[in-house]
Amino acid sequence: MAIKLEELEAQQGFTYSVEDGVAVITIDQQGEAVNTLSPETGTAFEKLLGHAEADPNVKAVVFTSGKKDTFVAGAKIDFLQTIKTAAEATEISRKGQEGFDRLDAFPKPVVAAIHGACLGGGLEWALACDYRIATDSPKTQLGLPETQLGLLPGAGGTQRLPALIGIQAALDLILAGKTVKPSKAKRLGLVDEVVPVPILRSIALQRARELSAGALKVERPHGQRLKAVAAQSKKGLAGMLQRLADKALWSEVALEANPLGRKLLFDQARKLLLKKTRGKYPAPEKALEAIRVGVESGRKAGLETEARLFGELVVSDVSKRLVEIFFATTALKKENGTSDPSVMPREVKKIGVLGGGLMGGGIAYVSAALQGVPVRVKDKDDAGVGRALKQVQSVLDERVKRRSLTWREAAAKQALITAGTDYSGFKNVDLVIEAVFEDLKLKHRVIAETEAVTREDCIFASNTSSLPITELAKGSKRPEQVIGMHYFSPVHKMPLLEIITHKGTADWVTATCVEVGRKQGKTVIVVNDGVGFYTSRILAPYMNEAAYLLAEGADIAELDKALVEFGFPVGPITLLDEVGIDVAYKVGPIMEAAFGKRLAAPKTLDKVIQDGRLGRKNQKGFYTYTGKKKEVDASVYGLLPGGADRKKFDRTEMAERCALQMVNEAIRCLGEGILRSPRDGDVGAIFGLGFPPFLGGPFRYADSLTPAVLLKRLEHYQDKYGERFTPAPHLVDVVNAGKTFHSR
Ligand code: NAI
């Protein structure tokens, strides 16, 4: 018998039916791509539970989703943004906790049948059920990613997860906001069973009946391990010896079994965390605190702490910035990169990659392994061919090692890539991505060669890091099909793809490349053509400023520390070593030719280059790479102005000088129309260059300083250091208009 609760269905997307003694509650919020959790959803769910409780024919409940690819994807985030005070947020957290406590204490067994994303509030919901079954689909992922939005799981997650899977495993998931696949969830004890999609519902109904009949006893891995440790400790010395022999058990669980061990565990976690967040991201620290209080003082105190800290985080600036980035990337996923939303991408069934070097190998990997299309690589020689295939293999091997792929899956992905030294296999490619040496003449030559062997409608994309796409297109017979696809190194790790259109690029070409990038797992921004596009352009003055500071006598380690303290993942000098000092050196004249003295690189690096220092790649740069610890190579000071005699600089000032150069240049890019919006500028700087996410990107940062204050700071440095700090004309306009960048 199906009970139709029209009002609830209309409002919250629930349906309720009873099948053979089991109430099935299904959530499918109409008009929404994913199910999300809000106080209203919680209330509606509880009403349905009330029906299940009151109906004597109902012996158990199955809770599931009607969506194709999501269970419940988390809390409604735009709702969180409307919250004004910490007290209000704390109250909402308490309500959520109470709701899930009631579910936890529900007198009949509740089974969560999970397919698709089960994240944040969705997982907290499932955690309050008695039994969890997940499908083995790649779409199914479970986790508490709240800390990535500057929040913490505020509906009991910080208490229920450690109780279920152990402190160590819970810290691992919550502090980093990690998600796990069903197989790992099963190993952790986060779900009790993993089943194929078609039988999820029938197994869930069966388990619900078994639970209500007392025929199913649930043994969870963490509980079993705790029991084993307790049994061993009762055996005195013999037990201790056995425990020492059984190291896995000892390290994983024994620490949790006594107060001293737990203290050690939390101290260690805090230390590691601070090293990573450097005090800039309060959410993981607060999550750790809520878990600790729960473990040490009991669930009631833990929940109170969780709600209080959740409240503090919701209204924090860091969380606001992280949520804005989340919205920006979500919005980008829905766009096709053109001003006409009706333009559809064309299907890309096969990709050709030119150049099997560092970038070509990476592009081949993301195309085959993530997008899942056949790839043909062409290099000029066998060495290049071998390099590309080896690079792909080593990334796949690493994934097999980390168990994110089986060796069989890895082999299938590798088999999608073939390579050679001629253009065979290019006849039927839909897209060619070029990553040969950075040389306009060579690039024109390969454009002509590919156009001679590919179909008329084949797209030609260049991975150039600096050459204008307009110039490249001049060497093409079909310029409307020429575009830039600027990947970042290492391609398999870096999240950004910067797509560059020139004036004649056809919209279908842009839409197609945006779609390709997305399928390759990238966050894609589309920018207009110009020297250095957006990312390379704003990086140039930032690196230049670091070089000026070195020339003035700054200490290398101090300078790097200054920018790391500001929030960048590494300092500029480490970055130079990583990307290659020679590579950065070549950018200088290109920028100078295009933008004049303002973006001219100082001569600081001349002698460093002459000394054959390329950075990490030849183990000779600003740092040493041979010893155990990476240290500044003191001999490099002999090649810098000022020699070994370094001066003391204020770290805040060093950081501000470099960072403001980047911010000011980003504003120029917006004013000149290179950037289409401040949002794209924020996303590009964060995902491509590591601009501190907690500051929200250059434009959010400018807005939080206020444009007027930023202008004053730039003028101050302009007085001191001259032309290169000239405020961007667009900044002056925004200040005069009394606006901010995001409210233009
Ligand atoms: P690389 O030197 O590692 O690889 C270039 C490859 O192109 C070599 O294997 C070479 O044999 C091959 N090649 C040269 N002429 C060829 C031809 N006529 N046909 C086929 N293959 C040919 O260089 P990398 O670093 O991979 O850079 C490639 C392109 O990507 C350049 O345009 C570079 O500016 C750009 N880029 C590089 C980034 C980096 O971090 N290395 C980042 C973003 C873009």
Residue whose C-alpha is closest to residue 655's, from 542, 511, 491, 503? 542
Question: Is 19 in the same domain as 155?
Answer: yes
Q: CB of 632 closer than 6 A to ligand 1?
A: no
With H, G, I as helix, E, B as strand and everything else as coil, classify residue 527. Answer: strand
Chain CA centroid to CA 672, Å: 29
Give yes or no: residues 697 and 606 share one domain. yes
The least confident of 70-79, 93-102, 134-143, 550-559 is 70-79
CA distance 138 to 141: 7
E strands along 38-187, which residues?
60-65, 70-72, 110-114, 117-119, 131-135, 141-143, 179-180
Residue 518 and residue 556 in one domain: no
Active-site positions read 498
Distance 435 CA to ligand 1 centre (A): 4
CA separation for the pair 435, 427 (Å, rounded)? 19
Under 8 Å between Cβ of 331 and 109? no
> Measuring CA to CA, which residue among 472, 440, 441, 442 is closest to residue 459?
472
Residue in 353, 354, 359, 376 to alter for ligand 1 test, most ligand atoms within 8 A of Cβ = 359
Do residues 722 and 596 lie in contact, with contact meaning Cβ atoms separated by under 8 Å? no
Q: Is the pLDDT of residue 512 over 60?
A: yes
Beta bridge partners of 417: 375
Could you tell me if 524 and 542 lie in one domain? no
pLDDT tens digits for 39-57?
Answer: 889 999 999 999 999 999 9
380 lines ligand 1 (CB under 6 A): yes
Give the single-character DSSP code of 366. I
Same domain, 542 and 582: yes
Asked if residue 266 belongs to a domain, the reply is: yes
The minimum-distance atom of ligand 1 relative to the CA of 487 is 43
How many Å lie between the centroid of ligand 1 and the Cα of residue 463?
8
Residue 173 lies inside a defined structural domain of this protein: yes
From the CB of 356, is ligand 1 less than 6 Å away? yes
Residue 344 falls inside a structural domain: no
Q: Helix, strand, coil shares of the chain as percentages rounded to 5?
A: 55, 10, 30
The answer to whether residue 356 sits within a structural domain is yes
- Phi first, then psi, for residue 115 (nearest 5°) are -135, 130
Do 292 and 408 fall within a single domain?
Answer: no
Residue 266 sits in the same domain as residue 355: no
Q: What is the dihedral of CA 114, 409, 334, 349, to 10 degrees?
A: -140
Same domain, 472 and 582: no
**C-alpha R_g of the chain:** 28
Looking at the fold, whether 362 and 298 belong to one and the same domain comes out as no
Let me know if residue 237 belongs to a domain. Answer: no
Distance 211 CA to ligand 1 centre (A): 60
User: Measured in angstroms, how far is the CA atom of residue 696 from the centroid of ligand 1?
Assistant: 32
d(CA 146, CA 314): 11
Confidence of residue 232 (pLDDT cuts 50, 70, 90): confident
Q: Is the CB of residue 111 less than 8 Å from the CB of residue 133?
A: yes
Q: How far is CA 264 from the centre of its chain?
A: 30
Query: Residue 617's pLDDT is what?
Result: 86
Closest residue to atom 30 of ligand 1, CA basis: 435
Is the pLDDT score of 599 beyond 90?
yes
Chain centroid offset of residue 564 CA: 19
Per-residue pLDDT at 80 = 85
Output the domain CATH number for residue 441: 3.40.50.720
pTM, two decimal places = 0.91
Averaged pLDDT score across all residues of the chain: 93
Residue type, 711: L
pLDDT bin (cut points 50, 70, 90) of residue 1 is very low
246: left (phi over 0), alpha (psi -120 to 50) or beta: beta
Report how many domains make up the chain: 3
CB distance 465 to ligand 1 below 6 Å: yes
The parent domain of residue 47 ranges over: 1-231+260-315
Q: How far is the CA of 452 from the centre of ligand 1 (A)?
A: 21
Q: Same domain, yes or no, for 509 and 541?
A: no
311 Cβ inside 6 Å of ligand 1: no
Strands 459-462 and 482-487: parallel
Residue 339, both tokens: 């001003």
Residues 6+ apart with CB under 8 A from 186: 134, 192, 193, 194
Number of neighbours of residue 227 by Cβ within 10 angstroms: 12
User: Per residue in 324-351, pLDDT tens?
Assistant: 999 999 999 999 999 999 999 999 999 9
Q: Which atom of ligand 1 is nearest to the CA of 362?
A: 26
pLDDT in tens, 601-633: 999 999 999 999 999 888 999 999 988 888 999
Q: Grade residue 222 by pLDDT with cuts at 50, 70 and 90.
A: confident
Q: Which of 529, 561, 576 is the last residue of a domain?
A: 529
Q: Is the pLDDT of residue 442 over 80?
A: yes
Q: Measured from the CB, is residue 358 less than 6 Å from ligand 1?
A: yes
